[in-house]
Structure 1
Amino acid sequence: MSDEIALQKATARAARAQRLLEDELLAEAFTSLESSYTSAWRATTIDDVSGREKLFLAINIVGKVRDHLTTVVNNGKLAAKELKDLAETAERKKRFGILT
């Protein structure tokens, strides 16, 4: 039963993450941040190694947040498939009178 609860939580998280990824405002924020960080990174002087490294990290963090949300969505899809398989297995056992 706890597996089913964990799978249901994963599918609920996936739905929330999908809504976030589809949200125009969040997509705009990701694009805007990446663009401004990239512009600032390109405008650094040759001796501003520390500044470039910080901006490089900032650009990558924006991508990692997006990747994390995508991973949550994909894990939720797998969880939904597992829930479906569990339900089908339970239905078959019920239909054929198999008790566990």
Structure 2
Amino acid sequence: MTNTDESRLDQAVGRAVRAERLLADELLAEAFASLEHAYTAAWRSTTIDDASGREKLFLAINVVGKVRDHLTAAVTNGRLAKAELKELAQTAERRKRFGIL
């Protein structure tokens, strides 16, 4: 594996840490919940002939979920990258120990 690959993995690990912090942040969680609640309430109160309004609110609700999903994916990718970096370090240590270069 090249240094560029390891750098990419390190970046993914760093992004995961930041994404985890964001997902654990009470203010951000409150913002997601508040937006979803407000959009859902507005969507439910639309009139029968306001299809365009419902569609826009439906999209808004989904965007909130997609932002959360994006952060969750960053956490997952970072965990995978961390495991891959650990495996690389263990492989390098075994090669060093047994004189395989």
TM-score, length-normalised on structure 2?
A: 0.97
How far is 1:81 from its partner?
A: 0.2
Matches within 5 A, 1:77-92: 77-92=79-94
Aligned CA-pair RMSD:
0.3
- Any idea what the Cα deviations from partners look like across 1:6-59, whole Å, max 9, x if unmatched? 000000000000000000000000000000000000000000000000000000
Q: Check if 1:36 corresponds to 2:38.
A: yes
Instruction: Letter of the 1:96 partner, please give it.
Output: F
Q: Check if 1:3 corresponds to 2:37.
A: no
Matched pairs, number? 99
Structure 1 residues without counterparts, runs of 5 or longer: none
Look up the SS of the partner of 1:92 in the other structure: helix
- Take 2:63 and 2:35, find their aligned partners in 1: how far apart are those partners? 10
Matches within 5 A, 1:67-82: 67-82=69-84
How far is 1:62 from its partner?
A: 0.2
Q: What percentage of residue pairs aligned between the two structures are identical?
A: 73
- Take 2:72 and 2:38, find their aligned partners in 1: how far apart are those partners? 23
- Any idea what the Cα deviations from partners look like across 1:36-87, whole Å, max 9, x if unmatched? 0000000000000000000000000000000000000000000000000000
| Alignment equivalent of 1:12, drawn from 11, 14, 18 | 14
Instruction: Letter of the 1:61 partner, please give it.
Output: V
- Take 2:59 and 2:7, find their aligned partners in 1: how far apart are those partners? 36
| Alignment equivalent of 1:45, drawn from 40, 44, 47 | 47
Instruction: Letter of the 1:93 partner, please give it.
Output: R
